[in-house]
Structure 1
Amino acid sequence: MTHGDPHVWHASPRLVARYADGSLAEPDAWSLEKHLEDCPGCAALVSRAVRGTAAGAVLDEVRGAVLAAAPAGAARSVAPPAPALPRIARLLWAAGPAVRGAWLPAVLLVAVAAMALGYGGGVPGARALLLAIAPVVPVAGVALSYGPHADPLYEVAAASPAGGLRLALTRTAAVLAVSLPPLTLTGLLLPASGAPAAAAWLLPGLALTLGTLALASFVGCRAASGVTAGGWLCAVGAPVPGAPGGEVTTRLAEQLSRCFDGAAAQGAWAAAAVLSAALLTARRQAYDRPLYR
C-alpha cells in the first residue's frame, strides 16, 4: 500500500500483482476490494492486472460469449445493477451485532417493563425509573457493538478502510436510532409523577455515549462503558438508599430533575457532549488499531 495522507491509501503495484495472481491473504484482499468501491484509479489498476492473468483471459471469453448471446441493445448497457442482497448484508454488517441481533428486542423489553410497572403494577414513578436507565442503554449498545468481544470479524474490519472510528460511529448511530424512539415514546406514555420530561434524557444520553467512545480510545469499549454507565447510575441513585420505602421513586425523580431540568443542566450536558466529541476527534487514530481491552 502507498501512503500520503495517513487516512488515505492506494494500492501499490506489488499489492495489485499479489491480488491478481491470488497470493494475497484474505483480510488484505477483502480490504483492497472494499477500497476499490470508492477509488476508480485503483480499480482500473487492478482491472488491468487481472486481464493479464490466465483468469483474465477466461473472463474475457465469458464476457464475449455473454455479449454475443445478449438481445439487441443489451450489449450497450454499461453495467448491471449491483445485487440487492450484498448491499443489505453490508448494511447489516456495518450496523453491528447489537442492532442485527437481540438489541431491538432488549430495548423493547425495557419499554414494555416500564409500561407494565406504570399501568399494570401501579408504580407511580415508572417514568423516573425509565429515565434513570435510558441514558445508559445506548452506552450498553456501544459496548455490545464494537470490539473483539462483540464482532467475530473485528480484526478484519479494523484493518479495512471502512474500519476504525468510522465503523464505531456507524454502529453507534445505529444503536441510537434503534434506542431513542421507543424509550422516548414510552416516557411520553407514562404518567409524569414529578419526573422530568420524557425527552430530557436525550442530550445526557448523547453526552454519555460520546464520552464512552472517547474513553474507549484509552481503555477499550467494555471498560469505558462500565465507567460511564456505572458513574451515571451511582450519581442518579445516590439519594435513593436513604429514602423510606414509599419515597424511593420520589427521591429518584427529584435527583433526575436536578440532573435534567433547566437550561443550566442541559447546557452542561451539551458542553460535555462537545468536549467528548472534541476528545474523540483528537484520539481518532487510536481506533486505527484494535481495541482489545
Structure 2
Amino acid sequence: MTGWHASDDLVTRYGDGSLPEPDAWSLEKHLETCGRCATRVSRAVRETAAGAALAEIREAVLAAAPALPTTASPTPTRPRPRARPLALPSPGPRLAHLLWAAGPAVRGAWLPAVLLVACGAVALAYGADVTGVRPLLLAVAPVVPVAGVALSYGAHADPLHEIAASTPSAGLRLVLTRTAAVLAVSVPLLTLAGLLVPSANAPGAAAWLLPGLALTLASLALAGFVGVRAATAVTGGGWLCAVLAPVLAAPGGRLTARLAEQLQYCLDGAPAQGGWAAAAVLSAALLAARRPAYDHLEQR
C-alpha cells in the first residue's frame, strides 16, 4: 500500500482505453499493491463495453467447465497489446518483484565479472604463486560496486528501463534496490577472496568496505546532477587515480610493495576509516536531500 492513489480521471481513461501505454503500465504496477485502486479500476472496466464482453466470456467459460471454482471474481482488464492482467496484491509475487527490481544487478555480464575478479585473485595467489595479490585486490575492490551500479540502471543496461521508469516504484527506490543487490553480491565475494590471499603487508581484507560504501553513495549522490554513468566514472576513476598514480610515478621497481604502502595510507587506521565513514554519511545526506531528482534519472 502506498500513499499515492489513482485519480478518477486516470481510472476512467484506463477503463475506456484512452490512457497512454506508459501511464497504463504505471497504474497497473500500482494496482499490485493497492486493493483500493484495484477495486475502483475493476468497477470502471466492468462499466465499459470491454467489461461486458469479458463478463460474457467468463460466464461461457464457467458454463463449459462447472468444476472450476467460482468464489473469486477475477479483476477484468481492458484488451490492450502487451498489457499484463490486473491482480489484487498477494504475498506470493513479492520475491518476483524483488528479483525484477534487482534487474541487471544480479544477471548479465556483471556477476561473472565479479566472480572473475574474486576467483582470479585466489588463482593468482596460489595457482601462479604471484606475490602482492591482496594490494591489487584492495585497489580494485572499492570500484567494483561502483561499476555494478553503473551497469545496473539505465536504458543502456535494462531493456525494460522505460517501462520501469514510468512506474511508482522507479526513481530513488529502484536505484537503491539495485545498489543493494550489487553490494549483496560483491561484498561477500571480494571480502572472502581478500581473506584467502596472503596479506603481503597490505591492510586487512575488510579495509575496503567503508571506502567502497562511501564511493558507492558518492556515485549515487552525484548521479542526481550528472547521471549514473558519468557519476560512477568520476568517483571510480578518481579512486583509481588517487591510488595508482603515486605508485606509477614513483621511481624504482617493486610496484606491489609501493601499492601496499599507498593503500596503508588510504585504507588503514582510524583516521582513514573515519574519513571514509564521514564521506559516506555526507553522501547519504545529499542523496536524501536530492531525492526528487531521481524521479527523472536517466530520462534526459
TM-score tier by shorter-chain length is 0.7 to 0.9
- Counterpart of 2:164 in structure 1 is 157
Instruction: Tell me if the contact between 1:135 and 1:205 (Cα under 8 Å) persists in the aligned partners.
Output: yes
- Alignment-mate amino acid for residue 16 of structure 1: V
- Counterpart of 1:196 in structure 2 is 203
Would you say 1:178 and 2:194 are equivalent positions?
Answer: no
| Distance in structure 2 (CA, Å) of the matches to 1:282 and 1:260 | 28
Q: 1:85-144 deviations in whole A, cap 9, x for unaligned? A: 976664443112242211111101111221222122322110110010000000001111
Identity of aligned residues (%): 70
Note the residue ranges of structure 1 that are not aligned, 5 or more in a row: 1-6
- Counterpart of 2:269 in structure 1 is 262
- Counterpart of 2:32 in structure 1 is 37
Instruction: Tell me if the contact between 2:32 and 2:88 (Cα under 8 Å) persists in the aligned partners.
Output: no
- Counterpart of 2:42 in structure 1 is 47
TM-score of the superposed pair, with normalisation by structure 2: 0.86
Instruction: Tell me if the contact between 1:220 and 1:292 (Cα under 8 Å) persists in the aligned partners.
Output: no
Note the residue ranges of structure 2 that are not aligned, 5 or more in a row: 75-86
Would you say 1:135 and 2:130 are equivalent positions?
Answer: no
| Distance in structure 2 (CA, Å) of the matches to 1:292 and 1:236 | 33
Would you say 1:117 and 2:117 are equivalent positions?
Answer: no
- Alignment-mate amino acid for residue 100 of structure 1: R
Structure 1 residue 62: deviation in Å?
4.3
Task: Note the 1:227-266 alignment, pairs <5 A.
Answer: 227-241=234-248, 242-245=250-253, 247-266=254-273
Structure 1 residue 177: deviation in Å?
1.0
- Alignment-mate amino acid for residue 18 of structure 2: S
- Alignment-mate amino acid for residue 141 of structure 1: G
| Distance in structure 2 (CA, Å) of the matches to 1:292 and 1:11 | 23
- Alignment-mate amino acid for residue 123 of structure 1: V
Q: How many pairs are equivalent?
A: 285
TM-score of the superposed pair, with normalisation by structure 1: 0.88
- Counterpart of 2:52 in structure 1 is 57
Relative to structure 1, the CA distance from residue 278 to residue 137 in structure 2 (aligned partners, 3 Å threshold; closer, same or farther) is same
Q: 1:38-79 deviations in whole A, cap 9, x for unaligned? A: 22221111011011112222333444456664549x444688
Instruction: Tell me if the contact between 1:92 and 1:100 (Cα under 8 Å) persists in the aligned partners.
Output: no
Would you say 1:108 and 2:95 are equivalent positions?
Answer: no
Instruction: Tell me if the contact between 1:214 and 1:277 (Cα under 8 Å) persists in the aligned partners.
Output: yes
Instruction: Tell me if the contact between 2:33 and 2:88 (Cα under 8 Å) persists in the aligned partners.
Output: no
- Alignment-mate amino acid for residue 33 of structure 1: E
Q: 1:209-244 deviations in whole A, cap 9, x for unaligned? A: 000000010111111111101111111113311152
Instruction: Tell me if the contact between 2:214 and 2:283 (Cα under 8 Å) persists in the aligned partners.
Output: yes
Q: 1:17-47 deviations in whole A, cap 9, x for unaligned? A: 2211222221111000011122222111101
